[in-house]
Structure 1
Amino acid sequence: MVNTSSSPHRAALLASAVALLGALTACGGADGTATAPRPTTPATQDRTTSPPSASPSERATPTPTRPASSPSAAGAVEPTSRCRTAELRAEVGRMDPGAGQRNFPIVLTNASARTCTVYGYPGAAFVDAAGRQLGPDPERAPGSPSRVTLAPGDSAWAGLSYSSPEISGARTARPAGLLVTPPDERKPIEVPWTAGAVPVSGNASTVRLTVFAPGSGP
């Protein structure tokens, strides 16, 4: 005789076992291992932490480098060099006539605040009011040049001479000025010419220059 009272009890046990197996399967991974929940990291979280910026008072201030000291210029003496055109004042001195000659001192005066020198012959040229040269360049008379040192305010002179046109019969012109160029310079100084006609061509029309000497005339 079959025991029918235990059948419902077995059915209940079988249903419980099936339900438990389903719960275990739902918690397992694909390979049957348990899967632990993963922590969630915000996408905006910066895992690299920078040290705080130093305040202006905490920042290191570089120490300025001082230039190497140079010898003091006090007491240094500037080497004496030739006088430049811009440092000089030019003038034509009073005529010194003699033996049919007309002689004039060309005077250069040091108008600067430094000492400078002149050496040799000046350049000279008579010009008209338009600046055109009258006659050929003067010739240099024989002489022995020497260096003339000019302190501020000192002068040196060179002689300019020619034969009197009334005696020589040379063709003449009346200049408006005389261009005087210091030795070894290119820029001249224009000096007004007030001594009348000068020879520009023909016999005995040569104008001559002498070397510089100290002073303002013979």
Structure 2
Amino acid sequence: MVRRMCVLAGLVLLMSACGTEDQASTGDGPTRTATETVTVTPSPSTTTAPDGGTESAPPEAADTKCVAMELEGEIANADAGAGNRYANLVVTNKSQRECTLYGYGGLEFVDADGNANPTDLVRTPNPGPSLVTLAPGESAAKKLHWGVVPTGDEPATGRCQPPSAGIRVIPPDDTQAFVVSHDFGSVCGAGHVEGSAYFTP
């Protein structure tokens, strides 16, 4: 618990020097978006709780890391079962150079107007960090898992949380974000979502 709180405090301090907002919405199914790049500051309603692994990229990747303005994304392979939702966040290098991803990065649920929704991101090493090199046009993925069953003091009927129409995606070792649209609906457990590190699909 102490280790988790320390990691949480460090991430909040790292991200608190930046600004916020922006997003687009869509209906059901995967949609390629990622045209806007924004600077993200966690809102009061957002808790980012990383867990597992380290975000320190190998030294050789320091000058080649992919940044938000070079990426676009979509939600793919969505699946559902027993109150759980599963999907892959797929990011594609839209730049003209080769770049790298190492680690988990961050994300924040947003509503159809681009306002932040509660987000409780937990890192799960399935898989953990490995260096992913993306040539122009190549993609990497990140596994996502969230629930739609109310927990704690969330209402048993109606919406457990405000519906989310997309996510702001923050690449590893970056403070800028790009927006991916998807109809997540209400993410219960105060926006609890588990996310793997990026990997080559």
State the secondary structure of the residue aligned to 1:172: coil
Q: What CA distance in whole angstroms lies between the structure 1 residues aligned with 2:148 and 2:94?
A: 33
Between structures 1 and 2, the one with greater strand share: 2
State the secondary structure of the residue aligned to 2:167: strand
Measured after TM superposition, the shift of residue 140 of structure 1 is: 0.9
Q: What letter corresponds to residue 142 of structure 1 in structure 2?
A: P
Measured after TM superposition, the shift of residue 166 of structure 1 is: 6.7
**Structure with more contact order per residue of length (Cα contacts < 8 Å, sep ≥ 6):** 2
Structure 1 unaligned spans of 5+: 1-78
State the secondary structure of the residue aligned to 2:120: coil
* Number of aligned residues: 134
Query: Is 1:154 paired with 2:138?
Result: yes
Do the aligned partners of 1:127 and 1:177 also contact (CA within 8 Å) in 2?
yes
- Structure-1 residue corresponding to 2:87: 104
- Structure-2 residue corresponding to 1:141: 124
- Structure-1 residue corresponding to 2:15: none
Do the aligned partners of 1:80 and 1:115 also contact (CA within 8 Å) in 2?
no
Please give the TM-score of this superposition, normalised by the length of structure 2. Answer: 0.59
Structure 2 unaligned spans of 5+: 1-61
Deviations 1:65-118 (A, max 9, x none): xxxxxxxxxxxxxx9611111111111113122454211111110111111110
- Structure-2 residue corresponding to 1:53: none
Q: What CA distance in whole angstroms lies between the structure 1 residues aligned with 2:105 and 2:74?
A: 13
- Structure-1 residue corresponding to 2:100: 117
- Structure-2 residue corresponding to 1:180: 169
- Structure-1 residue corresponding to 2:195: 209
Do the aligned partners of 2:112 and 2:164 also contact (CA within 8 Å) in 1?
yes
Q: 1:200 to 1:127 in 2, by over 3 A?
A: farther
Deviations 1:186-208 (A, max 9, x none): 1111112223222252xxx6211
Do the aligned partners of 1:135 and 1:199 also contact (CA within 8 Å) in 2?
no
Provide the aligned C-alpha RMSD in A. Answer: 2.5
Measured after TM superposition, the shift of residue 173 of structure 1 is: 1.9
Of the two, which has the highest radius of gyration? Answer: 1
Do the aligned partners of 2:72 and 2:180 also contact (CA within 8 Å) in 1?
no
Q: What CA distance in whole angstroms lies between the structure 2 residues aligned with 1:137 and 1:152?
A: 32
Measured after TM superposition, the shift of residue 128 of structure 1 is: 2.0
Q: 1:94 to 1:195 in 2, by over 3 A?
A: farther
Aligned-pair identity (%): 37
State the secondary structure of the residue aligned to 1:94: strand
Please give the TM-score of this superposition, normalised by the length of structure 1. Answer: 0.55
State the secondary structure of the residue aligned to 2:69: helix
Q: 1:126 to 1:200 in 2, by over 3 A?
A: farther
Q: What letter corresponds to residue 147 of structure 1 in structure 2?
A: L
State the secondary structure of the residue aligned to 1:86: helix
Deviations 1:28-64 (A, max 9, x none): xxxxxxxxxxxxxxxxxxxxxxxxxxxxxxxxxxxxx
